């Protein structure tokens, strides 16, 4: 392991393939967990094979793409099986695009279904075959195979050694935190969605932010902000949806204006495809710092363990129900779920508006402590470089939320002003991003200090 990447070996008992199996023609996906186990999660028939093939291909395209450097990574997607949904997730090599295929069990005739999350092998011959799936052909899907074990000397065993960048794993986990604050901004029919996606530039993409805006029944790409327009960066990142649009029923666009993140949801007969874009092409989801306030605070700590104990591959986690079960406030449970999301233990389903349980099949223990801004903030506290210089009091002589702190920086002291809803710092990072990319290390340290003093 280097500082920036973890060595990881995908080890599959056989290559994923499309072809004749014992139970008929279909797609047989090979599985591999974090500790090289090969679980068997699903066996059944596809009701719309062509669309499913297209969605998996599109997902694979995202996973194999680095959207600003010609450096294709070799990571594989992850599948989660639950009672109601089979979800395939992937993350681009540049860490700026997250994609997920949600196949509701209604679109599958299940013969065997069990719960869990695992990597799935996506190889070139299988990708080529996926594109050939047709609706008029009976097609089965198997995720894993019964009784398969790895045996040395088996020529069918597929091994792929990759370096998983830490920021890739972190981004894959933290991307879930952006979704709860997203709002549905635009929705259009499949035909109009097709026209829009096809109208995106094919060659040189704009360097400035682009906007999608309503135009009659349809959508239009614009280079200018306007009322109800949704800003996004990198038209080429949205273009990956083009093959899916041929049979799409509708296109939905979600956005969180504060973070600048967008999610593009294509609804098809076979299921849903979600494409989430980071605020800028050159910015990944990891290190964006949206999670930092939650991770830095300690309001979730009492709920974390009981919530984690109640995770058993539910396809929807209801915070209110969980709160009642463990006897803690709903907000605390929500914060705990967000933290679990950041640790790769929960995903968020935008369409259904809630978390679902899944455990990313990587060893996340090493990654958890590597959040650089959080580390830097803790270091500032450990070195006693944060001191309160003023604290406003309310009319009842109680400390108000307004605190001013001095935090030692490189050759200069930064002034942090903590407010109820608008923390500010004099450092260049904050001055530039104005909190849009999460709090700076000085604000984090200040918040940690004041939280500690509040809690005695």
Based on CB atoms, which residue is closest to other proteins, 138 or 325?
138
Distance of alpha carbon 188 from alpha carbon 192, whole angstroms: 6
- The CB-of-262 to other proteins minimum distance in angstroms stands at 17
DSSP letter (8 states) at residue 249: S
C-beta of 320 vs 392, nearer to other proteins: 392
Distance of closest approach, residue 190 Cβ to other proteins, in angstroms = 9
Q: Which C-beta is closer to other proteins: that of 156 or that of 324?
A: 156
- Whose tokens are 């604000």? That residue is 443
CA distances from 380 to 165, 284, 289, 411, 456 (A): 26, 26, 17, 14, 20
Q: Least distance (Å) from other proteins to the CB of residue 375? A: 22
Residue 293: DSSP 8-state:
H
3-state secondary structure of 409: coil
Contact status, residue 44 vs residue 140, Cβ threshold 8 Å: yes
Q: At what angle do helices 319-326 and 301-309 cross, to 10 degrees?
A: 100
Q: How far is the CB of 329 from other proteins (least distance, A)?
A: 35
Task: Decide whether 128 or 320 has the Cβ nearer to other proteins.
Answer: 128
Query: Which of 197, 350 has the CB closer to other proteins?
Result: 197
Would you say 43 or 406 has its CB closer to other proteins?
A: 406
Question: Smallest distance from the beta carbon of 161 to other proteins, in angstroms?
Answer: 13
Q: Which residues bind other proteins (CB under 8 A)?
A: 57, 64, 124-125, 127-129, 131-132, 134, 136, 189, 191-192, 194-195, 198-199, 201-208, 210, 215-216, 218, 220-224, 235, 242-243, 246, 389, 406, 409, 411-415, 424, 426-428, 431-432, 434
SS3 assignment, position 228: coil
The smaller minimum CB distance to other proteins, of residues 6 and 58, is found at: 58
Closest separation in Å from C-beta 378 to other proteins: 22
H or E, element range at 379: helix 372-382
Report whether 446 contacts 406 (CB < 8 A): no
In the complex, the smallest distance separating the C-beta of residue 264 from other proteins, rounded to whole angstroms, is 18
Euclidean distance between CA atoms 143 and 85, whole angstroms: 13
Rg over alpha carbons for the chain, rounded to the nearest Å, is 23
């Amino acid at each position: 392991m280097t500082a920036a990447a973890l060595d990881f070996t995908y080890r599959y008992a056989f290559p994923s393939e499309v072809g004749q199996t014992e139970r008929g023609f279909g797609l047989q996906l090979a599985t591999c967990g974090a500790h090289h186990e090969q679980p068997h999660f699903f066996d059944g028939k596809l009701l719309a094979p062509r669309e499913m093939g297209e969605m998996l291909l599109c997902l694979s395209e995202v996973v194999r793409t680095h959207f600003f450097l010609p450096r294709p990574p070799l990571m594989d997607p992850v599948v989660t099986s639950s009672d109601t949904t089979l979800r395939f997730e992937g993350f681009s090599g540049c860490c700026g695009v997250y994609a997920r295929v949600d196949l509701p069990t209604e679109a599958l005739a299940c013969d065997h279904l069990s719960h869990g999350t695992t990597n799935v092998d996506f190889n070139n011959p299988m990708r080529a075959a996926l594109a050939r799936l047709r609706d008029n052909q009976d097609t089965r899907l198997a995720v894993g195979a019964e009784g398969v074990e790895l045996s040395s000397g088996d020529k069918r065993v597929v091994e792929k050694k990759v370096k998983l960048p830490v920021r890739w794993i972190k981004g894959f986990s933290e991307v879930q935190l952006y979704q709860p604050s997203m709002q549905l901004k635009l929705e259009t029919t499949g035909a109009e969605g097709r026209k829009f996606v096809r109208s995106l530039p094919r060659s040189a993409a704009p360097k400035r932010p682009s906007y999608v805006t309503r135009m009659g029944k349809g959508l239009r790409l614009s280079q200018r902000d306007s009322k109800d327009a949704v800003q996004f960066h990198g038209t080429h990142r949205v273009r990956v949806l083009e093959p899916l649009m041929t049979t799409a029923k509708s296109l939905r666009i979600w956005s969180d204006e504060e973070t600048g993140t967008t999610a593009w949801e294509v609804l098809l007969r076979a299921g849903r495809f979600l494409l989430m874009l980071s605020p800028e092409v050159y910015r990944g989801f990891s290190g964006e710092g949206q999670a930092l306030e939650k991770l830095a605070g300690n309001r979730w700590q009492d709920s974390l363990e009981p919530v984690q104990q109640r995770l058993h591959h539910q396809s929807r986690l209801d915070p209110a129900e969980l709160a009642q079960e463990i006897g803690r406030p709903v907000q605390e449970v929500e914060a705990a779920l967000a933290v679990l999301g950041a640790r790769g233990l929960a995903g968020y389903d935008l369409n259904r508006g809630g978390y679902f349980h899944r455990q990313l099949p990587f060893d996340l223990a090493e990654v958890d402590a590597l959040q650089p801004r959080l580390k830097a903030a803790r270091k500032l506290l450990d070195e006693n470089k944060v001191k309160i210089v003023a604290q406003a009091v309310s009319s009842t002589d109680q400390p108000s939320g307004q605190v001013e702190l001095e935090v030692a920086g490189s050759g200069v002291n930064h002034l942090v002003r903590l407010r109820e809803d608008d923390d500010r710092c004099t450092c260049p990072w904050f001055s530039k991003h104005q909190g849009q990319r999460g709090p700076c290390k000085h604000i984090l340290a200040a918040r940690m200090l004041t939280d500690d003093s509040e809690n005695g």
